[in-house]
Amino acid sequence: MWDERYSTEDYAYGKTANTFLQQYAQHLGSGVTKGKVLSLAEGEGRNAVFLAQQGYEVTAVDGSLVGLQKAQRLAAEQGVSIACIHADLNEFDPGEAQWDAIISIFCPMPPALRHWLFPRIIRGLKPGGAFLLEAYTPQQLAFGTGGGNDAASMLSREILSTALAGFTFQHLAELERDVVEGQYHTGRASVVQVLARKPGSERA
């Protein structure tokens, strides 16, 4: 599905980074060096390229090779460099204490993927590392402006607060907002947003 979606000349979700990510990008790093960021289900590169432009060392992981090839083209177009990993998130292991931040923007997360991925996100973050996510909630089905039609793949404040138990939440909210991200995410939407920090050393 994703190779097919990304196989057009246009960028399915646009070239502009997610606005929630733009708002909180400055909270992801650790001082002057900014740090290493892992972007899950990055797709065609818009968020990874934006973070690279801010000075982060970014690695994008996605199951679509077509999407990652477009991500590299977008990075070259914008004069930045990103690393790419072609992998299925159901099998991907980000390692242990490797990342200053991990981000996930509108990645469908059915229960089996959540049960696999969230413990590995926690393990993969350095002490004090940040996790930033925006996802659709089940209430998004009433809007029909993106995210598919499977409520089980959507997230909620309750799911995230449980999955990230022990983290410090700098932002955790369910809200309705206008999402304008290419042809597949456009219109009023019901979303959940989180910026949470793993226990450990304090970060700026």
Give the model confidence (pLDDT) of 95-135 as tens digits. Answer: 999 999 999 999 999 999 999 999 999 999 999 999 999 99
pLDDT at 31: 58
pTM score: 0.94
Average pLDDT over residues 70-88: 97
Q: In what order do the strands lie in the sheet with 99-105?
A: 83-86, 57-62, 36-40, 99-105, 125-136, 185-197, 168-181
pLDDT per residue as tens digits for the range 17-61 = 999 999 999 999 765 568 999 999 999 999 999 999 999 999 999
Asked if residue 134 lies in contact with residue 155, where contact means CB atoms within 8 angstroms, the answer is no
Report the run of H or E that residue 43 belongs to, with start and end: none
The distance from CA 176 to its chain's CA centroid, rounded to whole angstroms, is 19
Asked if residue 197 lies in contact with residue 170, where contact means CB atoms within 8 angstroms, the answer is yes
Asked if residue 135 lies in contact with residue 107, where contact means CB atoms within 8 angstroms, the answer is yes
Domains and CATH numbers, the chain: 2-197 (3.40.50.150)
